[in-house]
Amino acid sequence: MIGIVYGKSGTGKSEWVFHEMNKAASKHRVFLLVPDREAVMAESRAAALPNAGNIDVLTFGRLCNYLFRTYGGLCVDYIGKGAKKLIMRNVMRAIAPMLKEYGASAESLGIYEKMAALRTVFYQDQIFPRDLDKTSMALGVETPLGAKLSDLALIFAAFDAEVSSRWEDPDGMLSRAEKLLSEHDFFAGSVVFVDSFTSFSAQQMEILAHIMHGANDVFITLPYLPEERNEASVRFLAGTDDRLRRTAERAGVREADSIVLRGAKRYESEELAFLATEISAQTTVSAVWEAEPQDITLVRAANVFAEAEAAALDICRAVRGGLRYRDIAVVVRDPASYEGILDAVFRKYEIPYFLSSRKEISEKPFVKLIFSAFSVTERGFRGEDVISYIKTGFSGISTEDVSLFENYIIKWHLRGKLFTSDEPWNMHPRGYGFSFSEEDYGILSRLAEMKMTVIEPLKSFFAANRTAKNVRERATLLFDFLSGLSVSEKLTAKAEEAKARGDMALAMETVQLWNVFCETLDQLVVSSGETEATAQEFSQMLMMLFLETDIGKIPTSVDEVLISSAAQTLTGGHKYVYLIGAAEGVFPQKVSEDGLFSEHEKTALATMGVELSDRLERRVSEELYFFYRAATMPSKRLYVSFSHYSLSGAEQRESVGVKRICKLFPSLAVRDFELSAPIDLVESRVASFEHATSFSGNLGRALREYYENHPEYAEKFKYMQMPLGAEKTTLSSENAKILFPGKLTTSYTRLEKFIKCRFAYFCEYELKLRDDSPASFGAVDIGSFMHGVLEKTVRWIAEGSEGDIAEGVKCIAGEYLEAIFHRDVEKLPKRLQHLFAYLCKSAEIFARRMKEEFEESSFRPCDFELSVSRDGNAIVPMRLVGEDVSVELRGKIDRVDMYEGEGGKLYIRVVDYKTGEKTFDIKNVRLGLDMQMLLYLFSIWENGEKRYHGEIVPAGVLYAGIKPPQVDLAVGENGNEDDISVKSSGLFLKDEAILRAMDPELSGKWIPVKESDLGKDKPNLVGLDAFLSLKEEVSETVLRYAAELKAGKAYARPMTQGGTSPCEYCRMRAICRIR
């Protein structure tokens, strides 16, 4: 006899089953058949029954195992999912020439997964190659559907033959069990209960047919009411009902009167009991709940992040009210889409949770290590592949070294032979134009060690892969490569670290990885060991296996919130259920055609007796049912939320399920999370910290007082109160004293950086933030090149060296380039060679001008690259002492020119080479700018007598500028010498004799002063008294800004000069507070 037990969610179907099981077990052997997810809970409940000793809890898998242990067939080797995809790959490639429809796609990686999945569906639906072939013949192999079925028949027949030659297919396990049931009366005299199923495959129906035939009585529960069979949300359940009845009729079993359970027994809430009774009907409303519901909450949030936040806050309030975490379930349609959102928010609110999903092993860093290693060797050591490899954490270098190694790769475009050759890396870590310090040499030494650690194993792996032929050989190489990196030991260490941090879930995942990898490699070798494969094909095959391999998780606590998929049955009797993501098309999920058959083709096959269970109408019904089941799971309270916008920013509306709830509860108000009262947003210490500065009133004051005095948060809160866009930011006095103890010793270049923008100064010089963009020879580097070449060339000329200037410039430029590029000029890219040739022409023009000036001018160079410091034979910096600060500004003067005037006085002029146009303006000095050359001049005026053996008189400062040529010339273009201009600027002593010593004709050729200027009040001509006043003004300005620097003022308030903002070219722009 077969009896079907009907009842909606919460009507007590399972209670009825366990009660009747206990009664039947007093006289008969009893079997309870449940889905896999229900097995543990069902065993626990059955064990508590008085007659538990006569009750067995089975799943279909356990039943197969039971039968195989009883009648034989237990010790077989089952093929894995990944291996099936590999066999499908090998088969399709082998028979591709014979295929009409799928021959062209036999090389496509995506087709193998679809084919393997379809083969499983066919097996479950009891559709075999002979059925496909027969239907193909009936349709005609020349028709599109007939050709498709013909191909599938051929593919699956070859696949089955290949699999059966070495393995048993787990898809056929139920068929093997069904055969044993047909030969043995396993269920004779027993009573069987089937609970918590919503559908059965054709294979499972065959098993049920034998159960119905052999058992005394069979009772099967279905979670719907017969009178509602035409409702969309239960239509697929009605289909299951019809199939069960047909199966019973085929088995020759008498059908007992149906048992229909009514009344919502599960619920402590009358509102939820009413919801469970009425929600499944989608088109009609027989009754409504007029009062405002207290146990149903509907929330609208801006997006999924806000949804997660709203749910977390509500959970915190519920737990604070006495609920246990284990009494709460969060249901979403697709848990994978909420990973990194729900879990992150729950951690912030310190909510223990268990995310019921399986982790794909292909996303793990260990697996990424494998495929990045293959990418490195397959693609010739591309920089981006090496970076991916070292970022996995298994390459043998520390996290800090990974950053350094990555930055160097990016900076110098490293690739190919730059990795694999033995030539040392000697490019500057910061790019072009920097001189090497001891720290820089230390970095190069570290990089050399890293290169050895990282690249040598990859080179060996690359070399070995060049000789390997088949899958077995490549698998052995891969295992040896990973063993050489001590990956197994590193995984164990990482698991221990996770365990020590309290992250038990990660620890359990990590500890499994090596064994899972070894098992996967075994599958690959067993299924395709002798198959010839390139390294790329091998990595693709391995990835196919990894995509079918995941790591199961188990709860790590007895008291935690369950996050589950709506497609899975919830167990455990949760009191509160949070149904999240109930937006249109999300939950219930939008259903569309997929797979290899269209809905039209499935209908055509059905008319010919080939019934596929995966139909569009059924999937729509299932989606509606998933929502209905989730909404009726809680016994005390239901919380439903949806977001107004999707992650892509598209506008969303509430789903059909939400609309149904609103129809049943017309007084149910939608709560807008964005309008929540501030007090409702205060729960955990970590989460509330975010609101401490934004809340006003008593709540804001209380929060601020709490965090200001909390030892863990006080320092964070101090800086949190400073908005990211605040211009005025200052270091604490303690930190300022640590950075600048005692006398401030720095360079004017740094001080001017501070004057132009305090924030940029602290970022670059105190935090030592670096621009890690790729090294390129741009405008700044051209300036450094020209400066270096001009300095050496002018010295060469001044020293009276004989020889062709053009050749001299070329030689000096070559030495400079080899010093910064660390290779011969001839090996540089053609564009750079062409650019340097043009720059050398500019330097040659400048040098000829300098030679001509030296021949006419009475001022003679007496020093080049003169140091202003307290080192050795240097010029001591000028005295800068104030009330609260003393400063020593160091630097280097490009050139010092001297002229001995009347009375043996030594007139000193300092010269600076500038690339581009430089116009000295005395007004800038008062702003703190353009003081460098004056500081140098005043340092010599104040402290130069010892070096130059005479009375020093300031003659002026001269900026000798050369306008850079265009830098984007195409190779082969010569440029125009007329574009190369030499201009000068500066400040000079207003003394005709001294001016004529510089330029005898006062024609404006050598200095920007003409004879006609002598009687005029020119800003670039000042008397000795004015120089003295200027010295005092410069001193006061330096001391003023130095005091601000020592005080730690880090304002993001850039100084605009001449309409040009320093922000335009600032390397700290990306992190600027105001940009």
Q: What is the pLDDT of residues 496-544, one digit of tens each?
A: 988 888 777 778 888 888 888 898 899 889 888 888 988 888 988 888 8
Q: What is the mean pLDDT of residues 842-871?
A: 88
One-letter amino acid for residue 400 of the chain = E
pLDDT given at position 423: 86
Tokens representing 417? 């032979």
Running DSSP on this structure, what letter comes out for residue 928? Answer: T
Helices then strands, counting H and E runs in the chain, come out as: 39, 23
Q: Are residues 840 and 735 both part of a single domain?
A: no
pLDDT given at position 504: 79
Q: Are residues 732 and 711 both part of a single domain?
A: no
Tokens representing 1047? 């005080």
- Taking only Cα atoms into account, the Rg of the chain, rounded to an integer number of angstroms, comes to 41
**734 class by beta-carbon count within 10 Å (0-12 exposed, 13-18 middle, 19+ buried):** exposed
Question: Taking 90 as the threshold, does the pLDDT of residue 718 lie above it?
Answer: no
Q: What is the pLDDT of residues 666-716, one digit of tens each?
A: 999 999 999 988 888 888 788 887 777 778 788 888 888 888 888 888 877
Q: Are residues 949 and 814 both part of a single domain?
A: yes
Higher pLDDT, 834 or 530: 530
Of 606, 584, 608, give the one whose Cα is nearest residue 658.
584
Q: Which residues contact 942 (CB under 8 A, 6 or more apart)?
A: 878, 879
Q: Are residues 103 and 225 both part of a single domain?
A: no
pLDDT given at position 130: 94
Rounded (5°) CA angle 853-857-860 = 95
Q: How many CB atoms lie within 10 A of CB 616?
A: 15
Q: What is the mean pLDDT of residues 109-127?
A: 88
Domain for residue 535, yes or no? yes
Widest Cα–Cα separation across the chain: 135
Q: What's phi and psi for 189, nearest 5 deg?
A: 80, 0
Q: Are residues 115 and 219 both part of a single domain?
A: no
Tokens representing 534? 């390139």
Q: pLDDT class for 971, splitting at 50, 70, 90?
A: very low
Instruction: State the pairing for strand pair 744-747/1021-1022.
Output: unpaired
Q: Are residues 340 and 310 both part of a single domain?
A: yes
Asked if 961 and 917 count as a contact pair (C-beta separation under 8 A), the reply is yes
Asked if 932 and 1041 count as a contact pair (C-beta separation under 8 A), the reply is no
Domain for residue 276, yes or no? no
Question: Taking 50 as the threshold, does the pLDDT of residue 24 lie above it?
Answer: yes
pLDDT given at position 849: 84
Domain boundary among 115, 133, 167: 167
Tokens representing 53? 């000793």
pLDDT given at position 1021: 93
How far is residue 151's CA from residue 111's CA, in Å, rounded to a whole number?
A: 13
**If DSSP codes are grouped into helix, strand and coil, which group holds residue 864?**
strand
**559 class by beta-carbon count within 10 Å (0-12 exposed, 13-18 middle, 19+ buried):** exposed
Tokens representing 660? 């149904």
Domain for residue 621, yes or no? no
How far is residue 816's CA from residue 808's CA, in Å, rounded to a whole number?
A: 12
Q: Which residues contact 778 (CB under 8 A, 6 or more apart)?
A: 967
Tokens representing 83? 């291996």
User: 98 is in which domain, residue-wise?
Assistant: 81-167
Lowest mean pLDDT among 317-326, 390-399, 767-776: 767-776
Q: Are residues 328 and 402 both part of a single domain?
A: no
pLDDT given at position 970: 36
How far is residue 434's CA from residue 431's CA, in Å, rounded to a whole number?
A: 7
pLDDT given at position 556: 56
Q: pLDDT class for 975, splitting at 50, 70, 90?
A: very low
Tell me the residue length of the chain: 1075
How far is residue 879's CA from residue 943's CA, in Å, rounded to a whole number?
A: 9
Of 587, 34, 681, 27, give the one whose Cα is nearest residue 332.
587
Tokens representing 217? 């009585």
Q: Are residues 439 and 376 both part of a single domain?
A: yes
Asked if 429 and 443 count as a contact pair (C-beta separation under 8 A), the reply is yes
Question: Taking 60 as the threshold, does the pLDDT of residue 967 lie above it?
Answer: no
Sheet holding 191-194, edge to edge: 55-58, 30-33, 191-194, 217-222, 2-7, 259-261
Which helix (H) or strand (E) segment holds residue 809: the answer is: helix 805-821
C-alpha separations of 181 from 33, 185, 219, 242 in Å: 16, 7, 19, 23
Q: Are residues 427 and 544 both part of a single domain?
A: yes
Tokens representing 418? 């730059």
Domain for residue 602, yes or no? no
pTM comes to: 0.75
Q: What is the dihedral of CA 896, 902, 905, 911, to 10 degrees?
A: -20
Asked if 885 and 1039 count as a contact pair (C-beta separation under 8 A), the reply is yes
Q: pLDDT class for 553, splitting at 50, 70, 90?
A: low
Q: Are residues 151 and 230 both part of a single domain?
A: no
Tokens representing 1004? 């404006």
Q: What is the mean pLDDT of residues 965-983?
A: 49
Q: Are residues 749 and 697 both part of a single domain?
A: no
C-alpha separations of 582 from 273, 295, 443, 612, 619 in Å: 21, 18, 54, 30, 18
Domain for residue 60, yes or no? yes
C-alpha separations of 648 from 331, 644, 645, 651 in Å: 22, 11, 8, 9
Paired with 1003 in beta bridges are 1010
Q: Are residues 803 and 857 both part of a single domain?
A: yes
One-letter amino acid for residue 393 of the chain = G
Of 318, 332, 331, 356, give the one whose Cα is nearest residue 636.
318
pLDDT given at position 428: 85
Paired with 643 in beta bridges are 301
Question: Taking 80 as the threshold, does the pLDDT of residue 978 lie above it?
Answer: no
Q: What is the pLDDT of residues 739-752, one digit of tens each?
A: 898 889 999 989 99
Question: Total structural domains in the chain?
Answer: 7
Higher pLDDT, 286 or 975: 286
Q: How many CB atoms lie within 10 A of CB 888?
A: 19
Domain boundary among 530, 551, 572: 551
Instruction: Find tokens 């400062």 and name the residue.
Output: 957
pLDDT given at position 974: 42
Q: pLDDT class for 549, splitting at 50, 70, 90?
A: confident
How far is residue 501's CA from residue 549's CA, in Å, rounded to a whole number?
A: 27
Q: Residues of the chain with pLDDT > 90: what percent?
A: 49
How far is residue 253's CA from residue 241's CA, in Å, rounded to a whole number?
A: 15
| Strand ranges in 869-928 using DSSP code E only, listed in sequence order | 880-881, 886-900, 906-915
Q: What is the pLDDT of residues 793-822, one digit of tens each?
A: 888 888 776 668 888 888 888 887 777 776
Question: Taking 80 as the threshold, does the pLDDT of residue 326 lie above it?
Answer: yes
Domain for residue 336, yes or no? yes
pLDDT given at position 357: 64
- How is 1000-1067 classified by DSSP, letter by letter? TT-BSSSSS-BGGGTTS--TTEE-HHHHHHHHHHHHHHHHHHHHHHHTTB----PPPBTTB-GGGG-T
Of 931, 942, 933, 932, give the one whose Cα is nearest residue 875.
942
Average model confidence (pLDDT) across the chain: 87
Peptide bond preceding 774: is omega within 30 degrees of 0, i.e. cis?
Answer: no
Domain for residue 456, yes or no? yes
Question: Taking 60 as the threshold, does the pLDDT of residue 394 lie above it?
Answer: yes
Q: Which residues contact 321 (CB under 8 A, 6 or more apart)?
A: none
pLDDT given at position 973: 40
- Looking up residue 7, the CATH number of its domain turns out to be 3.40.50.300
Question: Taking 70 as the threshold, does the pLDDT of residue 555 lie above it?
Answer: no
Q: What is the mean pLDDT of residues 968-991?
A: 63
Of 666, 764, 643, 756, give the one whose Cα is nearest residue 309.
643
Paired with 893 in beta bridges are 866
Domain for residue 631, yes or no? no
Q: What is the pLDDT of residues 411-454, one digit of tens each?
A: 888 999 989 998 888 888 888 767 788 888 999 999 999 999 99
**252 class by beta-carbon count within 10 Å (0-12 exposed, 13-18 middle, 19+ buried):** exposed
Domain boundary among 145, 167, 189: 167
Cα torsion 982, 986, 990, 993: sign:
negative
Q: What is the mean pLDDT of residues 609-624?
A: 88
Higher pLDDT, 306 or 280: 306
Q: What's phi and psi for 412, nearest 5 deg?
A: -110, 20
Paired with 887 in beta bridges are 744, 880
Of 1012, 1011, 1013, 985, give the one whose Cα is nearest residue 996.
1011
Q: What's phi and psi for 507, nearest 5 deg?
A: -60, -45
Of 392, 376, 426, 386, give the one whose Cα is nearest residue 409.
386
